[in-house]
A and B are shown apart, each in its own frame.
Chain A
Amino acid sequence: MLLPRFEYHRPARLDEALAILAQHQGQAAVLAGGTDLLVGMKHKLMKPAHVVGLEALEGFGQIQEQEGMLLLGPMLTASALAGEPGVRARATALALGAGVLGSPQVRNRATVGGNVCNARPAADMCVPLLALGATALLQSAHGAREVPLSEFFLGPGRTVRTPGELLCGVKLPAGGPGVGSGYQKLGLRQALEIALVNVAAFVALEDDGQTVKTARVALGAVAPTPILSPGAEAALTGQVISEELIRQAAQAAAADARPIDDHRGSADFRRQEVLVLTRRALQQAWQAARQD
């Protein structure tokens, strides 16, 4: 399977990269790990005249922590995120999602920026990032903006990012004492599998260690984009956390899911699984919040 022809750009500086994108508006594709883009180009789903590789840009593969926020460079690979102790401790759901994406070979190339910009409804890093309250940092030749992930996805493969914009990072609150998150993925196989349903949960407890200050539940593969469950959030916030409360939140999440029937599973089955996986993800998050 051959790749179509294109000109390759390998900018070493961000302003250079943004200038190339501005110059070739709509004709240029950004290349990170290539595990989505090159597959699509081989299948002739896209045929960009220009490809802009991000591998030479400095700092794009870094993790920084400042003022309680984690700043993830867009070129961080799934392997790096899954193995990094800081991410495992402070953004557990993301490390767990990154660790079950594709296969070892795919994880060594697949980047967080690629996962977010590719915007698949079941993406293993998008669903955790949504639950963790992440924000996309976009930059173009004309300026920068920050978009919460809850407003970033528009549909399968569609986001608010314009062709001239580069995702320059993902920002999220770093977890600490009383904060925890969890991730659950259901597939038909243990590896190399796109989720049939995936759920990430985030819980932050008040100082009393039992009242829920903030909670978010993100659902994958049950809507055209990864979605947050407002029902689960409402059920949990301000309440004393318990197994029973978690069960109620899971029910609310299942009610918020909008799954469809497809060749991979029925809508009914998916809704049932949202219930089960939300319960497990919340239990994971609660346990992690209690441990710190």
Chain B
Amino acid sequence: MKKLAITLVVNDTEHELLVAPNRTLAQVLREDLGLTGTKQGCQVGDCGSCTVLLDDEPVNSCLVLAAQVTGRRVRTIEGVADGNRLHPIQEAMVEHGAIQCGFCSPGMILSAKSLLEKNPDPSNGDIRQALSGNLCRCTGYQKIVEAVADAAQKMGRA
């Protein structure tokens, strides 16, 4: 299996990597770059734990080959806070008790971030739709939806 030289811009930093073709973006982020905030759940696209933003759009990084996305921009949960200052979505998730076991949170937050960038004033339905590819087994979703709505309001006011 011939390794491939690829470039990824992850959280605004360019990385040149040598990867085996059968390695997924999720694996390369976690294992080569040490960005373990991206979780691996079902590994077949159902659960959304491995959600990252690829050129600002959410994708399941378990179903993307690293080699397929050479040259493109990736944002992971590690690139959401501003230094030690949490992003308003992260803050709202904490305040609303929307994080329980925390396994779905990175993916949820990235899906929510992508939504709010396109639609700063989403309806309840818009939020549920945007989070429909992220499964949570703890919260029953209500607190997460409330957190995203609250974050949208606060970001609108800022």
Binding site for B on A (CB under 8 A): 1-8, 10, 31, 33-35, 38-39, 42-43, 51, 53, 55, 79, 102-106, 108-109, 190-192
B64 within 8 A of A: yes
Q: Residue among B21, B54, B57, B130 with the most chain A CB within 10 A?
A: B21
Q: How many residue-residue contacts, CB under 8 A, span A and B?
A: 89
Q: Is B65's CB under 8 angstroms from A38's CB?
A: yes
29 A-B pairs within 8 Å (CB atoms) are namely: A2-B22, A3-B22, A5-B20, A6-B1, A6-B21, A6-B22, A7-B1, A7-B2, A7-B21, A8-B2, A8-B67, A31-B65, A31-B68, A33-B63, A34-B63, A34-B68, A39-B63, A51-B21, A53-B68, A102-B45, A103-B132, A103-B134, A105-B51, A109-B64, A190-B132, A191-B129, A191-B132, A191-B133, A192-B132
Q: Which residues of B contact A108 (CB under 8 A)?
A: 54, 57-59
**What residues make up the interface of B, taking CB atoms closer than 8 Å to A?**
1-2, 4, 20-24, 43-46, 48, 51, 54, 57-60, 63-65, 67-69, 111, 114, 129-130, 132-134
Q: Note all chain A residues with C-beta closer than 8 A to B20.
A: 5
Complex CA–CA separation, A55 to B20 (angstroms): 18
**CB-CB nearest in chain A for B54:** A108
Max count, chain B CB within 10 A of own CB: residue among A2, A3, A105: A105
Q: Which of B4, B24, B63, B133 contacts A192 (CB 8 A)?
A: B133
CA distance A5 to B23 in the complex (A): 9
**Neighbour of A106 across the interface among B21, B23, B60, CB < 8 A:** B60
User: Are A34's CB and B133's CB within 8 A?
Assistant: no
Contacts of B130 in A (CB 8 A): 104
Chain B residue with minimal CB distance to A10?
B67
When distances are taken between beta carbons in the complex, the residues of chain B under 8 Å from A10 are 67
State in angstroms the CA–CA spacing of A1 and B50 once bound together.
Answer: 13
